[in-house]
Structure 1
Amino acid sequence: MSSQSGQQQPFDTADVGDAPVVTAPDGAEVYPLLVLEGQGSLAVFALAPGQVTRAVSHATVQELWQVTAGGGELWRRQGGREETVRLAPGTAVSIPLGTAFQFRADGDAGEPLRITAVTMPPWPGTNDEARPEEGPWKATVR
């Protein structure tokens, strides 16, 4: 079956244990997994217990997250609305384009907060994609 552009994309398989570890602009660890060119990318984010990311917004991408381990909170602000939601295994959230967000991992969880995320379109890898924002918590990541 061909993609929308008429060209076939390769089948890819990835294991998070084999993925490189990079640091996201917000300070979380990221394990990049798969990319469908022009469509989206898949990665796992990890944040150590008690850690708080920097607040950011994205210039060109939006994301869907599902928490797979640990616990914490996510703050989101878009226009005149904002909310803070609890993150626990099974929780899924959206980060629409331009939404300011920040997240933190529970300090007593004993395990990192782990999130599997789809980024649409794929993460561009540019330094200006994540824009600094004012969030509700003081960041603790480097």
Structure 2
Amino acid sequence: MSNRSGQQPFRTADAGGAPAVTAPDGAEVRPLLVVDGQGSLAVFVLAPGQVTHAVSHATVQELWHVTSGSGELWRRQGEREETVRLVPGTAASIPLGTSFQFRADEDSDGPLRITAVTMPPWPGTDSEARPEEGPWKPTLR
């Protein structure tokens, strides 16, 4: 919410202290910040060997940046499909309507951690994440 001058408030969050919730794909997510009407920031965490459910988003798109761990991201848009490696420093986009699934390597030194910006902000509705068919069998509920 903006103040009288139209400016948005400053916000600060601690990723380590943010409460964890379960994303629709089964990943652990720690919501951090929201800029009203523009975007939201969160950290996704997958333990070594975990595989999410494949989903697509109805109204949002995302930008990801891997901060630790390793794994793979599968994305499909119509006839276009690819699987990319996720390692620290990798950045990836999840355009609106893209089917995607990700997994953490079993032999990773620690969890796969991804900082993600969602635009517009995550709406929190059950219909946002739509189930899709992905390449891997999910290990999460």
Residue 47 of structure 1 is matched in structure 2 by 46
Question: Percent of counterpart pairs with the same letter?
Answer: 81
- State whether structure 2 residue 27 is matched by structure 1 residue 32: no
For 1:76, what is the secondary structure of its paired residue?
strand
Distance in 1 (CA, whole Å) between partners of 2:88 and 2:61 is 21
Residue 82 of structure 1 is matched in structure 2 by 81
Residue 17 of structure 1 deviates from its aligned partner by: 1.5
Residue 110 of structure 2 is matched in structure 1 by 111
Residue 120 of structure 2 is matched in structure 1 by 121
Distance in 1 (CA, whole Å) between partners of 2:7 and 2:17 is 25
Distance in 2 (CA, whole Å) between partners of 1:18 and 1:139 is 28
Residue 110 of structure 1 deviates from its aligned partner by: 2.7
For 2:16, what is the secondary structure of its paired residue?
helix
For 2:40, what is the secondary structure of its paired residue?
strand
CA RMSD of aligned residues (A): 1.0
Residue 61 of structure 2 is matched in structure 1 by 62
Alignment of 1:90-109 (within 5 A): 90-109=89-108
Distance in 2 (CA, whole Å) between partners of 1:17 and 1:96 is 28
- State whether structure 2 residue 11 is matched by structure 1 residue 12: yes
Cα deviation per residue 1:93-135 (whole Å; 9 max; x = unaligned)?
Answer: 0000000000000001130000000000000000000000000
Residue 68 of structure 1 deviates from its aligned partner by: 0.2
Structure 1 residue runs of 5 or longer lacking an equivalent are none
* Paired residue total: 138
Structure 2 residue runs of 5 or longer lacking an equivalent are none
